[in-house]
Amino acid sequence: MFVAHLLLMLLLRRAALLAAEFCGSSLGGTCGVKTSAAVLRELRADFVVTYEQLKVMLSSGSVQLFDVRGPDEFQAGRIPGSANIPLGDLEEALRMSPRDFEKRFEVDAPHNEDDNIVFHCQTGRRSTTALHVAHGLGFARARHYAGGYSEWAEREGQPGGPLTPPSTPYPPR
């Protein structure tokens, strides 16, 4: 999957260079040609859900929200309406039959064509990996909440945000 992503980046960059050369302009140029970085930024934007968007999706009940953090993290604090599928279990989970998925995770199974699948973790790194796994399995419209539980907790005033102090101070020396 990483190799495919890298290949796509190289192909997009090469296409932009060829187009810029053909147009006689620089990469920042005219001709309506976008650099590979600009194209990738747009692609990534399509796969990202913001805090505000997630709030709307949750209030309307139109989201399948999957928390890919570990069970201990999930138990310590979670976004309401999320189901926990640890990242290490995600590929197996997405390959399960709907019946097995629903039995194990106690939520409806996602389908490849669904456009309301959102992954999240603590800060967006694991959910980005989850997004790549899901896309590789045909869940092409899946997205991720890049702010993760850290942003959610901070904005909702819950423990677990980035500025939460340790629960017990360090022992004196």
23 included as an active-site residue: no
**Mean pLDDT along residues 9-25:** 53
pLDDT at 136: 95
CB 63 within 8 A of CB 107: no
pLDDT category at 12 given cuts 50, 70, 90 is low
Q: Which residue has the higher pLDDT, 16 or 26?
A: 16
State residue 46's pLDDT score: 81
Mean pLDDT for the chain overall: 79
Q: Is the pLDDT of residue 140 over 70?
A: yes
**20, 79, 94, 121: the active-site residue:** 121
Average pLDDT on 5-34 reads 51
* Residue 8 pLDDT grade (very low, low, confident, very high; cuts 50, 70, 90): low
- Whole-model pTM: value is 0.68
Residue 17 has pLDDT above 70, yes or no: no
Instruction: Confirm if 137 and 109 have CB atoms less than 8 A apart.
Output: no
pLDDT over 50 at 86, yes or no: yes
Each residue of 150-165: pLDDT tens digit? 999 999 887 665 544 4
